[in-house]
Amino acid sequence: MLIRRLCAAAAAVLCGVLCLAGCSHKENTGAGFLFTCTLADNPGCLDPQFTDNPYASAVLANTMEGLMRLDAAGNPVCAEALNYAVSKNGLHYTFTLRDDCYWFSPDSDPERPERVTARDYVFAFKRLVDPGQYSPFAEDFACIRNAAAITAGDMGVDALGVTAPDATTLEIELSYPEPEFLTLLTRSCAVPCNQLFFESTKGRYGLDDKTVLCNGPFYLTKWVYDQYGGGNFITCRKNKHYCDPDAVFPSSLQFNIMHSEEEAAADFAGGTSDIYLTDSYPKDYTASKDYTVYSYRCRTLGLIFNQEIARTRNENLRQALARSIDRSQMNGLLSEDMQAAYGVIPPAVTLLGRSYRELYADEQAAIPYQPELAKTYFDAAARDIGLGTATVQILVPSTVLDTEALLSVCQGWQDLFGYYIGIETVSPDEFDRRIAAGDYSIALWALQPEENSCDAALDKVTESCPMLGTDAAGLASVFAAPGLAAQRSDSVALYGDAEKAFLESCCFIPLLYKNTYMVVTAGNEDIRYDPFTGAVYLRDAKHFQ
């Protein structure tokens, strides 16, 4: 363990041991530790209503708090809300705020911290939907009364259905029932915003350590970043003015900021941090007792087809390729990093407290393996576009190590159709550049929801419809159906129907579910990670040596 974590000599004498958990470490409780997490890039901006940077999420999850937060089981529970009530029709929410929640920064007066009020939430929600603020989260809160019209520019922000009758009462009116509304309120974009402080930053809110005001379990003390140099970090200290300080175990946090995934991997391997977040399979750590590896199957890798090329735009070719994949033969060729995928929604997405894929088996949504029908489609494609001897390659990012399974799929196509499709592996940066430029024929593309919900997975499909070549308007009604279910349990089959409707176009052919990882050094417990948003929750984190 690093020297910075050694206890003072006097404390060591009193304890009778040399404690390695930080100067304020409390024996047997796991409290008082300085936790360090490695980030592969700079958060850039810590404005909760604006930033969708996953590295910003890692910091905001610890420095900001809203009305609700997720518990260890993923259920929304009260945070700054003392309690709440919902009308029978599900359209009116009344929240009573705690009276012991405060804003804090290094410049705050510790004797007279400023209270968080309901008006701070009103201002935050108005910023969310204000078209002039360009929040990427505006559509997510379209359920709030008049929000959609405000974002469209048809109404002013004062018409928003969020009001504060007094300092501790917040009322939110919805246009339609939203079963996931309380979960929406746990997101970092739904935290309060102090209007006077926001205006004092003169357009620089959240851009440096002087323009960040916190209300969470920790407050930001220093943010150092040089895009050309090293030694970049963000430090946070336990907020003694937090509403429940005894429930906050770490004494401090540090986020080491790197310039790339490779630098982040080297930083963690060098022993300078406790937590490493990566999309790459961390095989060097999986078998070691010195580390705990947490995996999350949160993305679906599937084939997409360039809609600007006649050959790959052809629906008969896509149907042929989709119906000639025998996924039952793939799992034996895959590492623990991946699993054969039949559906769109990845297994890490939960519904009703369980993996959605446990509630609705993905084979039910899949295009079936039908080699004879696939051959018929292929022959039709050959007549349509004259395939001849021209070859096609699948563009694959180098982070996908399990190419043997993909090669087996390509071999199956060659055996069935006599048509060769190869693989071209490129760096992740090159992959992103070529996808954006349309410089590919077929690509193995990752569909990853931006939050843990089936709706978010379908939203990702809708956002990608222009690239995928499928009709968003045609999917609109079937995608909207789950949200109209009378009960959440009724939505399970409706999400399955939505998956089927999308997969039938074969514009996206699912192949693999891929993991994202959190690697933690031994002795550290109760660290939670949201692989969809990038949030790392360290409020409950404990260190035992």
Q: Quick one: pLDDT at residue 27?
A: 60
Tell me if 281 is assigned to some domain.
no
462 plus 313 within the same structural domain = yes
537 plus 494 within the same structural domain = no
205 plus 221 within the same structural domain = yes
Q: Quick one: pLDDT at residue 332?
A: 86
List alpha helices for 324-427, DSSP H.
Answer: 356-359, 371-385, 403-417
215 plus 133 within the same structural domain = yes
Tell me if 282 is assigned to some domain.
no
Tell me if 280 is assigned to some domain.
no
Tell me if 219 is assigned to some domain.
yes
33 plus 131 within the same structural domain = yes
Nearest to 509 by CA among 452, 442, 449: 442
Tell me if 291 is assigned to some domain.
no
Q: Quick one: pLDDT at residue 11?
A: 35
Please provide residue 365's backbone torsions phi and psi, each rounded to the nearest 5 degrees. -95, -15
CATH number at residue 184: 3.90.76.10
Q: Quick one: pLDDT at residue 388?
A: 64
Number of domains forming the structure of the chain: 2
Question: What 3-state DSSP class applies to 60?
Answer: helix
Q: Quick one: pLDDT at residue 429?
A: 85
361 plus 492 within the same structural domain = yes
CA 542/CA 248 separation, integer angstroms = 9
Tell me if 248 is assigned to some domain.
yes
Q: Quick one: pLDDT at residue 12?
A: 33
Q: Quick one: pLDDT at residue 402?
A: 79
Tell me if 234 is assigned to some domain.
yes
Nearest to 300 by CA among 429, 431, 445, 402: 445
20 plus 133 within the same structural domain = yes
Under 8 Å between Cβ of 359 and 365: no
Q: Quick one: pLDDT at residue 14?
A: 29
CATH number at residue 477: 3.10.105.10
Question: What is the DSSP-derived secondary structure letter of residue 247?
Answer: G
Residue type at 442 in one-letter notation: I
238 plus 307 within the same structural domain = no
Task: Provide the 10 A C-beta neighbour count for residue 192.
Answer: 28
Q: Quick one: pLDDT at residue 490?
A: 87
Q: By residue range, what is the domain housing residue 81? A: 3-270+522-543
CA 539/CA 536 separation, integer angstroms = 9
CA 519/CA 508 separation, integer angstroms = 31
CA 57/CA 54 separation, integer angstroms = 5
Please provide residue 406's backbone torsions phi and psi, each rounded to the nearest 5 degrees. -65, -40
List the chain residues with pLDDT less than 50: 1-26
pTM: 0.87
107 plus 171 within the same structural domain = yes
Tell me if 277 is assigned to some domain.
no
